[in-house]
Structure 1
Amino acid sequence: MTSHALVGCILAGGLARRMGGGDKPLLTLDGLPMLSHVIARLAPQVETMLLNANGDPARFQDFGLPVAPDPVEGFAGPLAGVLAGLTWARANAPQAEGIVTVAGDTPFFPRDLVAKLLEACGDNPDTIVLARAGGHMHPVFGYWPLSCAEDLVAFLTEGTTRKVLAFVDRHPNATAKFDAGANGSDPFFNINTPEDLRAAEQAEALR
C-alpha cells in the first residue's frame, strides 16, 4: 500500500468548549488559519483530502476541500468523523484502500505520519493503526481501512459506547510510535485553550 491509495480526513467537528465554542481550526496561528497549517502538513502525505465538519460548509469554502458532515445524529465524537471519511472515500475515491485521520486543532503533527502508519500495518491491509507518542495513544491520528466501515456503522448504531479504542479492539490493530519533536515537544500537541494557542505561536515547529 502507498500513500497514493489514501484519503486524508481532517476532523474538525469538535465543540471547542474550552475555547468558548466555534471552529478552532479557523483560529489564526502565525498569520494563517490553523486549518491552513494542518492542510499543509497533510497534503504531501496523501492523494486527496476532505474535511469532516458539521453545520454550514460555506465557512470552509476558501480552503478548497470537500466537506463531509457526521453521518450520525448528535455529537458522536471522533468515530463519527472517521465514518464520514470512510463513507466519502468509498463514494468519491474508488482507488482508496483506506483513510488517514488527523485533528484540525493539531498543527504540528509529524510530516512522516502516513509513512509510519502504513509501515505499522504490516502485511494486513485491514489493520487499524493508531499513533502513539510519549507513552500516550493519540486515537484521532490513525489509519482506517475501508473494510471496517460496515462494522463502524453497527458500532455507532448500537450506541453502547463511542470510545475509539473500544471500536479498534474489535479489529486487527497496531500502533505506530513517534518520537518527541524539537526540545522534547509533543508532536501531537493540540490547541484546546487560549493559553495553548499562545504557546503554539512560539513553537519552533512553525518555523
Structure 2
Amino acid sequence: MIYGYIRVSSTDQNEDRQRLALLAAGVPSDSQYMDKLSGKNFERPAYKRMLRRLRAGDLLYILSIDRLGRNYSEVLEQWRVLTKEKGVDIVVLDMPLLDTRRGKDLMGTFIADLVLQILSFVAQNERENIRKRQAEGIAAAKARGVRFGRPSQALPDNFYLIHKAWREKSITLPQAARACEMPIGTFYAKARKLEELSSMIRSSKRLSSERG
C-alpha cells in the first residue's frame, strides 16, 4: 500500500502544495493523512491513525523532512520506528537521497542516515532560531514603546529561509511568494516588516553597545 503524510503548522496554512506533490507521486487522496499541528512532537491524531495502519512493505511519501517533524531526536526515533519496527519504506520527495528503497547496502544506508540527521537538525535549529528572533523582535519593539494588539497571521515555517533566498536573488519574488503559499503582495509586505524589525533590533543593539 502507498500512503502520504501532510502537515501544516496551523489551520491558516494551505496544504495544497503538499497534496499536489503526493498526487503527482501516485498517492491516492484517500491514502493521504493530514495534521494541522506544530511539528514539535508526534502527538498528532492523523499521524497516529496512519501509524496504526502501516504494515511491512508499505510505502510512505512526504514532501520534506520538516513536514514529518521539527524535533531532531523525535524525527530520528520515528524514522527508526517506521523503517525498522514497521518495515516501511519512506520517500522524501524534495530530497532524493532519502529514499529507503534505494541503496540498501551499507554505504547507501550510511549516506541516508547521515542526510537524515543533518536535515532533522536543520529543521529543529531553524524552529528554535525563529522563536529566538521572534522573542528578540518583540522585546525590541516593547523597549521602543510599541503596543501589541491582535496578533497577525503566523508566518509559514519556511518564510525566513525563502526570504533570505529572495534577498540573495536566488529566487524571484513570484517564486518566493508561491513557496510560502502567499499572494505576492502579502509576501512583500511581510518581508518589509521583517526587515524593518531586524533593522530596529540592530539599531537597538548598536546603541546599547555605544552606551556601554
The structure where strand makes up a greater share of residues is 1
TM-score of the superposed pair, with normalisation by structure 2: 0.32
Higher relative contact order (CA 8 A, sep 6+): 1
TM-score of the superposed pair, with normalisation by structure 1: 0.33
The structure where helix makes up a greater share of residues is 2
